[in-house]
C-alpha cells in the first residue's frame, strides 16, 4: 500500500530517507513562526490530494518543546484535510468526503521519555500525558528506542516500538569491531545485549546511581576487558556523564579502546567535548540532528510504519 511521508520544520533529511526506504513520496508541509514566536502550519495546496489518497506517516519529534505543539498542529491539519473538514475557511466552505483513518505519527526521538513515572509526589508523568495527547490525534504511533516503553501502554491506538540497535550493531561491527559490549546501566541491558548478540561478543552491564542531572556513580564491578576494544551502548547520551564514568571504569580495568554508541545523540552542554576526553569514538543515529550522526534511523522507522500498515490495512482506504 503506497502512502506519503510528511514532515514539518523537523529533520526533512530523515523524513526523506524514510520515504525512500518505504518507496513513498515525501511532502514538505509549511511551517513558520509569527513575529511573536507563535507557530503556523499548513498543508500546501499541492499536498492536499496526496494527503487524502493513502496513508500518511508524519515524521515529527517531541523535542524541543516547540516541536510538541508543531506536531499537534500538523496532526490536526492533516486530519482535517483527510476528513474533509473545511468549516470556517475564509472565502467559503469546501465540501470533501472523509477518507477515513490512516494518519500515523512517527517519532524519531521522544522527548520527556525519561519522566515516565512519578519520582516524587505531585509530579506529572509527562511521558504518558504526551503519549495520550498524541494518540487522541492520530491512528497509530511509531516510536524509536523509547527510554521507557511503559509510557506508550494502553494508548487506544496501535503503537509500534522500534529499535535502531540492529543498524547500530552493523555499524559497530564494520567500523569499530568491538571485542566486548557494555551497558552503562540496567535500563540499557536489553538494547546493549541485543547489539552484543548481533556482533557475537561478550556482554556485561554496570549498576548506576544518578545523584543529580550532572552526576552519576557506578557500583564497581570486575569486567574482563584487559586489552579489548569495548563499545558502550545506551539509548541516549545527554550530558555524557554516564558514558564518561563507564569509560573510566573500563580504562581502569585495561580496556584498549572505548567507543560510545547510542540511538539519540542529545549531546547537551559541551557533551561532545567531554566525551572526546574519555572515549575513542562516538556513534549515534540521526533521530536528532547531531554532529556524530553516522547511523541512519530510517530503516528502523520503516519497520514500524510497515507493521502499522499491516495491522490496519483493512481500515485504510486508498483513493
Q: State how far the Cα of 220 lies from the Cα of 180, in Å rounded to an integer.
A: 18
Q: Which is nearer to ligand R5P, 241 or 281 (CB)?
A: 241
- How many C-beta atoms surround the C-beta of residue 118 within 10 A? 10
In this complex, which beta carbon is closest to ligand R5P, that of residue 53 or of residue 287? 287
Between residues 197 and 215, which has the closer beta carbon with respect to ligand R5P?
215
Asked about 95 being catalytic, the answer comes back as: no
Choices 160-168, 169-177, 185-193, 311-319; region in contact with ligand R5P by CB under 6 A: 185-193
Three-class secondary structure of residue 277 per DSSP: coil
Which of 53, 235, 281, 297 binds ligand R5P (CB under 6 A)? It is 235
Residues 6+ apart with CB under 8 A from 134: 71, 72, 75, 105, 107, 141
What's the rounded Cα separation, in Å, for the pair 241 and 267?
A: 10
DSSP letter at 125 equals -
Q: Given the residues 90, 128, 208, 209, select the one marked as catalytic.
A: 208
116: contact with ligand R5P by CB under 6 A: no
- CA gap 295, 287 in Å, rounded: 9
Residue nearer to ligand R5P on the CB measure, 9 or 163: 163
User: Using the rule CB under 6 A, which residue among 7, 21, 242, 296 binds ligand R5P?
Assistant: 242
> With binding defined as CB under 6 A, does residue 247 bind ligand R5P?
no
Q: Which residue in this structure is represented by grid cell 500518511?
A: 56
Q: Which spans in the chain are helix H?
A: 12-22, 45-53, 65-83, 126-135, 165-175, 189-199, 241-252, 271-276, 298-312
Hey, which residues between 139 and 178 contact ligand R5P (CB under 6 A)?
147
Report if residue 237 touches ligand R5P, rule: CB under 6 A. yes
> Which span sits near ligand R5P by CB under 6 A: 43-51, 155-163, 239-247, 304-312?
239-247
Q: Tell me 220's DSSP state.
A: -
Query: Exactly one of 108, 240, 265, 281 binds ligand R5P (CB under 6 A); which one?
Result: 240
Task: Please identify which residue in 187, 251, 306, 317 interacts with ligand R5P, judged by CB under 6 A.
Answer: 187
Binding part of the chain for ligand R5P, among 130-138, 195-203, 231-239, 283-291 by CB under 6 A, reads 231-239
Q: What share of the chain is helix, strand, coil (3-state, %, to 5)?
A: 35, 25, 40
d(CA 228, CA 94): 67
Q: By CB under 6 A, which span of 73-81, 234-242, 287-295, 307-315 interacts with ligand R5P? A: 234-242
Q: Whose Cβ is closer to ligand R5P: residue 300's or residue 305's?
A: 300
Give the integer Cα–Cα distance in Å for 178 and 170. Answer: 11
Amino acid at each position: 500500500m503506497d502512502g506519503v511521508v510528511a514532515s514539518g520544520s523537523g529533520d526533512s533529511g530523515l523524513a526523506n530517507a524514510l520515504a525512500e526506504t518505504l518507496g513513498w513520496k515525501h511532502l514538505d508541509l509549511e511551517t513558520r513562526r509569527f513575529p511573536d514566536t507563535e507557530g503556523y502550519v499548513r498543508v500546501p495546496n499541492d499536498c492536499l490530494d496526496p494527503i487524502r489518497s493513502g496513508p500518511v506517516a508524519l515524521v515529527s519529534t517531541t523535542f524541543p518543546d516547540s516541536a510538541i505543539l508543531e506536531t499537534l498542529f500538523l496532526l490536526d491539519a492533516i486530519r482535517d484535510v483527510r476528513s474533509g473538514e473545511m468549516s470556517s475557511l475564509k472565502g467559503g466552505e469546501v465540501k470533501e468526503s472523509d477518507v477515513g483513518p490512516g494518519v500515523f505519527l512517527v517519532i524519531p526521538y521522544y522527548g520527556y521519555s525519561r519522566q515516565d513515572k512519578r519520582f516524587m509526589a505531585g509530579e506529572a508523568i509527562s511521558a504518558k500525558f504526551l503519549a495520550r495527547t498524541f494518540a487522541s490525534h492520530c491512528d497509530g504511533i511509531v516510536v524509536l528506542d523509547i527510554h521507557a516503553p511503559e509510557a506508550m501502554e494502553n494508548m487506544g491506538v496501535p503503537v509500534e516500538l522500534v529499535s535502531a540497535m540492529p543498524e547500530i550493531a552493523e555499524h559497530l561491527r564494520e567500523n569499530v569491531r568491538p571485542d566486548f559490549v557494555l551497558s552503562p546501566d540496567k535500563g540499557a541491558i536489553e538494547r546493549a545485549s541485543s547489539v552484543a548478540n548481533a556482533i557475537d561478543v561478550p556482554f556485561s552491564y554496570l549498576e548506576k546511581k544518578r545523584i543529580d542531572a550532572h552526576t552519576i556513580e557506578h557500583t564497581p564491578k570486575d569486567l574482563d576487558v584487559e586489552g579489548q576494544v569495548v563499545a558502550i551502548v545506551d539509548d541516549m547520551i545527554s550530558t555524557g556523564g554516564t558514558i564518561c564514568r563507564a569509560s573510566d571504569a573500563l580504562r581502569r580495568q585495561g580496556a584498549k579502546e572505548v567507543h560510545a554508541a547510542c540511538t539519540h545523540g542529545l549531546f547537551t552542554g559541551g557533551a561532545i567535548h567531554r566525551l572526546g576526553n574519555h572515549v575513542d569514538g562516538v556513534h549515534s543515529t540521526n533521530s536528532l540532528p547531531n554532529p556524530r550522526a553516522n547511523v541512519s534511523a530510517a530503516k528502523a522507522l520503516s519497520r514500524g510504519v510497515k507493521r502499522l500498515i499491516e495491522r490496519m490495512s483493512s481500515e485504510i482506504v486508498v483513493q
